[in-house]
């Protein structure tokens, strides 16, 4: 693992995303940025937070979220608040994907209203990928995967044996509603999984495949 190359990749991705936001803000009032959570994005979020742009006109939301309190260690909202919404980017408008409801099934309608009020299509969607080929919370072992891949609804509550927490995720349809898609991943294991995904077409086996047909800028470092 080369930290330097991952840091460099993160900076390159941050520059590309900042440029995309500037471009859209040059012709519309607001721009929507949809980001993924997990561990990979941290250096990217830090680099992007330093970008000089009219952040007060940028809405930021998540591709998915664990249904946990926003101050929980594994909250994606906490990750975004602590690493992206700093410095210049602190002025951005962050829209989290959780509510006070006890479960994502009870909270999904309220969160969907909040998300639908944003300025779609998004300027940018940043996807990550897990070792099982999931992206957002489109997990191959989730009983809601078929729904999340086919519904026109913006959000789906997800439970999956491979994850300790219930989740909420943007649907594949909603994640496709963006002008630009980026896939940010690192390491040899994920490169190998991506290679398998590119060589096949069964989306339910490797859900990242749902995004490999559309223009997708892949940012990978060892």
Tell me whether strands 93-95 and 58-62 are parallel, antiparallel or unpaired: parallel
Q: Where are the alpha helices (DSSP H) in the chain?
A: 3-25, 42-49, 76-83, 104-116, 145-150, 172-176, 188-198
Sole binder of ligand 6PG in the list 21, 63, 92, 183 (CB under 6 A) = 63
For residue 180, list its beta bridge partners. Answer: 124
| Residues whose CB falls within 8 Å of the CB of residue 1, separated by 6 or more in sequence, listed in order | 186, 187, 222
Q: Nearest approach, Cβ of 139 to ligand 6PG (angstroms)?
A: 9
Written as six digits, the tokens of 146 are 């078929």
**Interface size with ligand 6PG, residues (CB under 6 A):** 14
Sole binder of ligand 6PG in the list 24, 59, 64, 144 (CB under 6 A) = 64
Per-residue contact string for residues 124-143; x = within reach of ligand 6PG by CB under 6 A = ----xxx---xxx-------
Sole binder of ligand 6PG in the list 76, 83, 142, 160 (CB under 6 A) = 76
Written as six digits, the tokens of 172 are 């594949």
Q: Does position 155 bind ligand 6PG by CB under 6 A?
A: no
Per-residue contact string for residues 28-47; x = within reach of ligand 6PG by CB under 6 A = --------xxxxx-------
Interface stretch with ligand 6PG, choices 23-31, 123-131, 143-151, 206-214 (CB under 6 A) = 123-131
Written as six digits, the tokens of 80 are 């975004």
Our CB check for ligand 6PG shows the closer of 38 and 54 to be 38
Exposure letters 80-97 (e unless 16+ CB within 10 A, then b): bbebbbeebbeebebbbb
Binding site for ligand 6PG (CB under 6 A): 36-40, 63-64, 76, 128-130, 134-136
């Amino acid at each position: 693992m080369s930290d330097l190359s991952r840091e460099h990749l993160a900076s390159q991705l941050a520059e590309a995303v900042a440029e995309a936001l500037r471009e859209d803000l040059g012709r519309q009032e607001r721009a929507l940025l949809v980001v993924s959570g997990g561990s990979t994005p941290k250096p990217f979020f830090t680099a992007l937070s330093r970008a000089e742009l009219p952040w007060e006109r940028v809405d930021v939301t998540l591709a998915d979220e664990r249904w946990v309190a926003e101050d929980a260690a594994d909250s994606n909202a906490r990750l975004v608040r602590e690493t992206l919404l700093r410095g210049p980017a602190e002025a951005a408008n962050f829209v989290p994907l959780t509510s006070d409801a006890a479960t994502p099934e009870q909270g999904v309608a309220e969160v969907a209203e909040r998300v639908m009020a944003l300025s779609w299509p998004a300027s940018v969607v940043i996807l990550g990928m897990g070792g099982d080929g999931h992206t957002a919370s489109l997990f191959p072992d989730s009983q809601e995967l078929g729904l999340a891949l086919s519904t026109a609804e913006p959000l789906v509550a997800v439970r999956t044996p491979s994850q300790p927490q219930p989740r909420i995720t943007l649907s594949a349809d909603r994640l496709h509603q963006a002008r630009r898609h980026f896939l940010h991943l690192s390491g040899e294991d994920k490169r190998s999984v991506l290679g398998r995904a590119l060589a096949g077409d069964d989306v339910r086996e490797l859900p990242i495949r749902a995004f490999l047909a559309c223009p997708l800028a892949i940012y990978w470092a060892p």
